[in-house]
Structure 1
């Protein structure tokens, strides 16, 4: 008995120490977990225009392009995902920086520093290209929805989607609408999950093809490479990104240009870059997974001709299963809800800034009739195209031709603007950034010419 008492007495300090260590570990783990959660939350809250711009690039038309790349050429074009990421990020960073530093949208800056005739022609062509894209995207959303609900008519769905998109874009406050677009961008994860559900993927081959570029001078190969580049580095993204940075500054209380120019901080520039790089990485990651899905399933099964995103989803079903099919289809609808507002909004920003109209999603309908009127017209034109026998492939071809003409011109002006110390002050391009900008401009000029020659030829 005495032995047990003595034993309990002497072991008590050791037990207390052991318990303290255990509790400390638990507290430490909880603290680390909370710290990680806080970091994740802070990161998510920091993301904004860069994420939504990048995500909007993967609209139904883009999905169709990536699906065709994977189904036609298998894994051979996977290298385009890492290749286009830094190019896309460099361009969008210049656009965002122009918006932050000048306090104006891209078209407003071009209007001040370049001949207006160039701006007016570019804006008109942008509007036409975006209208074709909107029409194709509305049709793709309706077609995808009918894969899940065949009893609903195509015409009904096209109208419903157009009305829904306009209602949200016009009648939501900018703060709410920006959050809506941000959360909607997560729908793109459906493409990641759809691939992870495919069994028997050859990840070694996928990795090799991702880091080892392959090229062919075959006409079809060149055309699809040009199509992917034209989809990822597209003029509407330039205008949207720049104007969204201005919108964000206005949300922070900088309601006039002088305030926006004077109060931009190094921390905001740093956060903008992280936002841009995150958004463009996400965009290209999704492109990567779409190509993988279509290469692994469709190309491997001998299906090499995919014209639309809905067709890709339908073709996947027998081979990849219902889950992948469902996720792919839901992704088409979600990306349309994200991409069409960006297409319509970019046209409206460009037009309104070109002609000095009052503009901005932060304004209410009655404060900016012209701006919102242009959004309505853009979506209505796209809607009408679906009722006049729109061939989505031809629509996208015309959009590609127009973008091929416009992109190099706009890119050249972006590089000049962001390299001008009088305009950008200390936040002017680094020499390397300017060099990269001109290289991208030259590349896109070549891509545009090749695209046009291939279509005409």
Structure 2
């Protein structure tokens, strides 16, 4: 009771991971295009995220191993085991490298709203030094290799991000009755299906399942810690959902339609609500970019560690090589001007292929008595999990269709 934030940590990192620039952009477009009418889709996405992340946390706490290590151990057929590991490693590493570039680019968008000129020319190439700045901050926190330092830094950044977007939403002075209708009365406006799919896809993130199962082991151990882990999860993910809804509400207050991303949202709010809107939103977008820029490389390193059986040490050379590689690729692709939209599209392909498979792996192992014993899934949890896997399969197919056709 003396320190209510004592047990807050891993769940906040998961929230920090899914509220990246992609989520900010999708929520912005949802609000601009459909007002409050798709708030219910974000609400359902948060419920699905809580269900899957609770399974991942339970696996890490009770079984004491990450999702990749558990899948590797439970698949008995050698060729299937090798195929599963190759799929997980390649998809997570490639997908996270793509997401990382988008994360850093998003953080840069936030800073560029304030710092206009951010390019320098070296050897005939233009480089965005703000990308390098975000990379250095992420590198420093990860290189320290202390879980508590990373956790506390991200908690502070998530609070900054949350306050920024919630304050920006309040500044728009929305009709709160209509907001509540948007949350609790599902509607399917014309041409909204792909936006609904995007809202789910940017919230239910596959690498977060690996990340959460590993992070809970850094903080707790044993089934007796499940109540604390669940409290952390519920508070953090609900907070993340409120932030995402605040972005939709904020964007719905913009009358003009030429809003393509959160940086445009900041500029769009400025004539109506003054300079304060620009700075509040810029800080929020910067925090969203940098928190995801830290968690994506961390998740990739955890997956590689579990798949190859490396020792549990955040400071080990192998662990560092993986996250440095992901972070480095993100900085390079962001700083030399690759289109963040194209990068996020590529990441959507990886996400579309990976999400239903990873959700299926998770549901399989948390139903095994040999893995979780008496705390394995109940019948109700299994039914809900199957519905989510089916939904993610449809999401994956539609994401692929959207990219290729």
Indicate the TM-score class for this superposition, using the shorter chain for normalisation: over 0.9
Q: SS at 1:43's partner residue?
A: coil
Q: SS at 2:108's partner residue?
A: helix
2:136 corresponds to which of 151, 155, 163: 163
Post-superposition Cα deviations, 1:299-331, rounded to whole Å, max 9, x if no partner, equal xx131541x332322222223322222111101
CA distance in 2, matches of 1:294, 1:116: 46
Q: Which consecutive residues of structure 1, in runs of 5 or more, have no partner in the other structure?
A: 1-38, 250-259
Q: SS at 1:424's partner residue?
A: helix
- Matched residue, 1:449: 397
Q: Does the C-alpha gap of structure 1 residues 217 and 355 become closer, same or farther in structure 2, counting only changes over 3 Å?
A: farther
CA distance in 1, matches of 2:258, 2:59: 42
- Matched residue, 2:350: 402
CA distance in 2, matches of 1:92, 1:116: 25
Residue 388 (structure 1) shift: 4.6
Higher helix share goes to which structure?
A: 1
2:61 corresponds to which of 100, 105, 109: 100
* In the alignment, structure 1 residue 434 sits paired with structure 2 residue 382: yes
Q: Does the C-alpha gap of structure 1 residues 108 and 359 become closer, same or farther in structure 2, counting only changes over 3 Å?
A: same
- Matched residue, 1:347: 300
Alignment of 1:6-155 (within 5 A): 39=1, 41-114=2-75, 115-153=81-119, 155=128
Q: SS at 1:76's partner residue?
A: coil
2:325 corresponds to which of 362, 373, 377: 377
Cα pair 1:53 1:240 within 8 Å, conserved: yes
Q: Which consecutive residues of structure 2, in runs of 5 or more, have no partner in the other structure?
A: 76-80, 120-126
2:264 corresponds to which of 288, 307, 311: 311
Cα pair 2:92 2:207 within 8 Å, conserved: yes
- Matched residue, 2:157: 184
* In the alignment, structure 1 residue 278 sits paired with structure 2 residue 235: yes
Cα pair 1:46 1:271 within 8 Å, conserved: yes
Residue 441 (structure 1) shift: 0.5
What RMSD over aligned residues (CA atoms) do the two structures have, in Å?
A: 1.6
Q: Please give the TM-score of this superposition, normalised by the length of structure 1.
A: 0.82
* In the alignment, structure 1 residue 413 sits paired with structure 2 residue 361: yes
Cα pair 1:54 1:279 within 8 Å, conserved: yes
CA distance in 2, matches of 1:128, 1:310: 27
1:211 corresponds to which of 184, 192, 207: 184
- Matched residue, 1:194: 168
Residue 406 (structure 1) shift: 0.3
CA distance in 2, matches of 1:309, 1:130: 21
- Matched residue, 1:269: 226
Q: SS at 1:68's partner residue?
A: helix
Q: Does the C-alpha gap of structure 1 residues 148 and 291 become closer, same or farther in structure 2, counting only changes over 3 Å?
A: same
Residue 146 (structure 1) shift: 1.9
Larger radius of gyration: 1
Q: SS at 2:86's partner residue?
A: helix
CA distance in 1, matches of 2:74, 2:148: 31
Cα pair 1:56 1:185 within 8 Å, conserved: no
CA distance in 2, matches of 1:46, 1:248: 9
Cα pair 2:256 2:268 within 8 Å, conserved: no
Question: Higher mean Cα deviation, 237-246 or 42-51?
Answer: 42-51
